[in-house]
């Protein structure tokens, strides 16, 4: 099963959640196994609700023990407990692609770590997609462009992250590798 890791906030106002729910549903319909931070709250919770609303939807929450103790997760999903944040992310890095939804510091940490690991060759290059919902990540795109303009980052390395302005584009870019593999086996 194609594994998609989704980075997202455990908070956020309600208007961020409809697209997260839709993305969860569509990933489940495309028979993706979704891995995420495990919360039942905020954008993460909406994503989990979307996956679980599809018959056969598969989602795994990966929580460090300290956060798992808060019990902010749905009892009907698979939970993997890790001792540390680093162990948690090691589970994420085994996924086939990565999708970043709106979130806070944890979301940024996960996005930047997978981007850095890929850039340095510690991680195989897999799709890394940022869903720029309602322009949420416009400031980040500006910072990345400034890094390129000032030669702190190459244009090629900035291109390791794909930007999507719609939920459908985010889903398509995240699952493109899977679609390409299926096409290749059919030919």
pLDDT tens digits for 109-125?
999 999 999 999 999 99
Question: 180: which residues sit within 8 A by CB, 6+ positions away?
Answer: none
The domain ranges of the chain are 2-182
CATH node for 2-182: 3.40.50.450
Task: Please state the separation of Cα 134 from the chain's center in Å.
Answer: 17
pLDDT tens digits for 2-48?
999 999 999 988 889 999 999 999 999 999 999 999 989 999 999 99
Helix (H, G, I), strand (E, B) or coil at 75: coil
Quote the pTM value: 0.92
Mean of pLDDT values over 49-76: 88
Task: Please state the separation of Cα 35 from the chain's center in Å.
Answer: 8
């Amino acid at each position: 099963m194609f594994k998609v890791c989704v980075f997202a906030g455990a908070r956020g106002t309600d208007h961020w959640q409809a697209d997260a729910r839709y993305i969860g549903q569509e990933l489940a319909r495309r028979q993706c196994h979704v891995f995420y931070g495990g919360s039942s709250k905020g954008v993460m919770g909406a994503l989990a609700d979307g996956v679980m609303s599809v018959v056969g939807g598969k989602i795994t929450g990966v929580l460090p023990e300290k956060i798992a103790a808060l019990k902010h997760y749905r009892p009907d999903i698979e939970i993997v407990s890790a001792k540390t944040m680093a162990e948690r992310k090691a589970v994420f890095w085994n996924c086939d692609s990565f999708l970043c939804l709106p979130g806070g510091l944890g979301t940024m940490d996960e996005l930047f770590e997978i981007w850095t690991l890929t850039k340095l060759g510690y991680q195989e290059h897999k799709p890394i997609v940022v869903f720029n919902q309602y322009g949420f990540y416009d400031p980040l795109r500006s910072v990345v462009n400034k890094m390129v303009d000032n030669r702190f980052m190459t244009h090629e390395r900035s291109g390791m992250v794909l930007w999507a302005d719609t939920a459908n584009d985010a889903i398509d870019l995240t699952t493109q590798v899977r679609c390409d593999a299926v096409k290749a086996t059919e030919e």
